[in-house]
Chains A and B, each alone.
Chain A
């Protein structure tokens, strides 16, 4: 079974702090994604990567950046956390070439981030 592991289940940070959310997958998937989940809004794509050192903006990239130095690891960075970034963050991976149209996503259990 594919395992996508997010380093923290719960995280509490102060406004202005730099925050790192880590995600590791163990199935050699090319594609990795970061989503944000808020009640009533569904899953919104923040950033994604189809290869090592490659990154592309999703639908809501403002206030975030990412890093993918190794194939199995994809990090989400909040440069200066703000209260409106309080949310559930989900990492996902998928096999195959670029795109999401034809492959299932495998999600991690999520990190619930609270910014105070």
Chain B
């Protein structure tokens, strides 16, 4: 079952905050986040394992609510370099395949 991402697209000005959500109808073992810039390969951002773990990487952090089967990616004080398409991927079990959402397009304006 493909996870649902929201919003589908968002336009922000530099310095504003963004939240991207990922929701699944199945119980999850892990949630993965990737960013893909135009014409480039997707790049790994972070993995969150079940347990309500929150991770951070500079101004990008994420949370995982295991009970609600939801994850959110937080981009704080967005920079121009944050523009791209963000994908979440979910895995019901440790040894399962990841299923990716359709992506959220983020465009940061100067």
Contacts and interface: CB of A to CB of B under 8 A. Distances in A.
Contacts of B49: 102
A2 to B, nearest CB: 10
B87 to A, nearest CB: 6
Interface residues of B, number: 27
Contacts of A98: 95
A48 B97 contact: yes
A108 B41 contact: yes
A98 to B, nearest CB: 5
How many A residues are at the interface, by size bracket?
20 to 34
Contact of A43 (B29, B44, B47, B100): B100
Nearest to B92: A101
Interface string B49-69: 100000000000000000000
Interface of B: 2, 29-30, 32, 34, 40-44, 47, 49, 87, 89, 91-103
Interface of A: 4, 40-45, 48, 58-59, 90, 97-110
